[in-house]
């Protein structure tokens, strides 16, 4: 991307006024990724295969070796970034080359270091509520740096949701799966039923002005997600996480089902990025190559729906000439 900076100064009396206009030359229309995790990189992370949940083993609780499945046994695994610097370089390059804007949340220090390297507005910071009192949470949002409340859970205390509702801050709530084997591998307290999109209904009833998007589109509970979106006209979804982890045919089936049900204007593209920079083009190409989507539907998912949901001015984005 070539950056042209036109800047001129006018000297009026003793006041110096500098007008700077930045034009970013791009070849691709803008894309918004609404689900980016930002944090320090753990070195030594193994490569990961996209769609690694495609062939789950037939396991038994009495198995001598604990339940597991391979995530790196494929032809072209995605390497993990091995340092913060490498991660930043790879992400910044993609933001520029692919004309991306990201809704990002996590470590504020890492986030600021990325923001310094990209055009203004290309990283839109989100905040969580953990470790913050309600007052600190409100102060952080009122400071203007954070524009989004994410990623948060169905069990988020009402006081925090009230602040977001009052300040007109969109909220991303985790819904649906957190991967396979959760209850056996990572968290014995995990309950698939606790992530049901229907659990959003009480939140929506208590906070009617809250702008909510269901992260991970309630996967795999398509019927519940569709019923919820039907009943609640302002709820959008993102297709992050599922898009690169579940079997490819299943990913297409799920997205197509939501579109077919009439919600093509409320599906937002997202990755759930962490550690693996290639997740970005890998996930984006799934939408790009979806044969059941029209060119217009692809643009809606990759950009238009998110721009509308986050109330962004489309003229502020860089467009190809």
The residue ranges that bind Zn ion (CB under 5 A) are: 151, 272
**Nearest residue (CB) to Zn ion, 105 versus 160:** 105
Closest CB to Zn ion among 104 and 302?
A: 104
- Sign, CA dihedral 31-130-178-203, equals negative
Residue 134, CA atoms < 13 Å, CB-side half-sphere: 10
Toward Zn ion, which CB reaches closer, 25 or 130?
130
Q: Which is nearer to Zn ion, 272 or 300 (CB)?
A: 272
The Cα angle at residue 25 between residues 24 and 31, in degrees rounded to 5:
80
Q: Please, what is the end-to-end C-alpha distance for the chain in angstroms? A: 13
Q: How far is the CB of 112 from Zn ion (least distance, A)?
A: 20
Task: Between 264 and 270, name the residue whose CB sits nearer to Zn ion.
Answer: 270
The C-alpha angle with vertex 166 and arms to 165 and 168, in degrees rounded to 5, equals: 65
3-state secondary structure at position 158: helix
Nearest to 232 by CA among 256, 255, 263: 263
* Whole-number Å distance between alpha carbons of 92 and 254: 30
CB of 272 to Zn ion, least distance (A): 4
**99 vs 245, which CB is nearer to Zn ion?**
245
Taking the complex as a whole, how short is the minimal distance between the CB of residue 174 and Zn ion, in angstroms? 7
**DSSP state at residue 72:** S
Least separation in angstroms between CB 12 and Zn ion: 50
> For residue 151, is the peptide bond before it cis, meaning its omega torsion is within 30 degrees of 0?
yes
Of 272 and 318, which CB lies nearer to Zn ion in the complex structure? Answer: 272
Shortest-Cβ-distance residue relative to Zn ion: 272
Least separation in angstroms between CB 310 and Zn ion: 17
**In the complex, minimum distance from the CB of residue 208 to Zn ion, in angstroms, rounded to a whole number:** 26
Structure letter (DSSP) for residue 11: E
- For the bound state, the minimum distance from the C-beta of residue 37 to Zn ion, rounded and expressed in Å, comes to 6
- Burial category of 265 from C-beta neighbours within 10 Å (exposed 0-12, middle 13-18, buried 19 and up): middle
Q: Where are the beta strands (DSSP E) in 55-209?
A: 100-106, 123-127, 148-152, 171-174
């Amino acid at each position: 991307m070539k950056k042209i900076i036109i800047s001129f100064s006018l000297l009026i009396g003793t006041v110096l006024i500098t007008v700077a206009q930045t034009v970013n030359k791009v070849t691709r229309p803008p894309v918004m990724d609404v689900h980016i995790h930002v944090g320090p990189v753990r070195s030594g992370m193994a490569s990961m295969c996209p769609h690694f949940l495609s062939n789950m083993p037939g396991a038994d609780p009495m198995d001598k070796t604990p339940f597991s499945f391979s995530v790196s046994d494929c032809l072209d695994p995605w390497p993990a970034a091995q340092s913060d610097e490498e991660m930043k370089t790879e992400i910044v390059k993609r933001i520029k080359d692919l004309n991306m804007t990201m809704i990002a949340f996590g470590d504020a220090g890492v986030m600021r270091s990325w923001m310094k390297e990209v055009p203004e507005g290309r990283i839109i910071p989100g905040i969580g509520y953990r470790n913050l009192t309600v007052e600190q949470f409100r102060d952080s949002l009122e400071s203007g740096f954070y524009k989004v409340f994410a990623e948060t859970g169905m069990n988020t205390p009402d006081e925090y949701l009230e602040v977001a509702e009052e300040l007109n801050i969109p909220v991303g709530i985790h819904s649906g799966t957190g991967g396979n084997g959760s209850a056996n591998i990572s968290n014995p307290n995990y309950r698939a039923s606790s992530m049901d999109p229907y659990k959003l209904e009480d939140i929506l009833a208590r906070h009617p002005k809250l702008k909510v998007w269901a992260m991970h589109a309630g996967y795999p509970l398509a019927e519940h997600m569709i019923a919820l979106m039907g009943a609640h006209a302002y709820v959008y979804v993102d297709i992050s996480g599922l898009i690169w982890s579940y079997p490819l045919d299943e990913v297409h089936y799920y997205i197509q089902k939501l579109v077919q049900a009439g919600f093509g204007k409320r599906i937002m593209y997202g990755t759930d990025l962490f550690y693996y920079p290639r997740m970005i083009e890998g996930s984006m190409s799934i939408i790009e190559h979806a044969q059941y989507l029209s060119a217009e539907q692809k643009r809606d998912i990759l950009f238009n729906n998110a721009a509308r949901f986050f109330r962004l001015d489309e003229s502020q984005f860089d467009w190809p000439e």
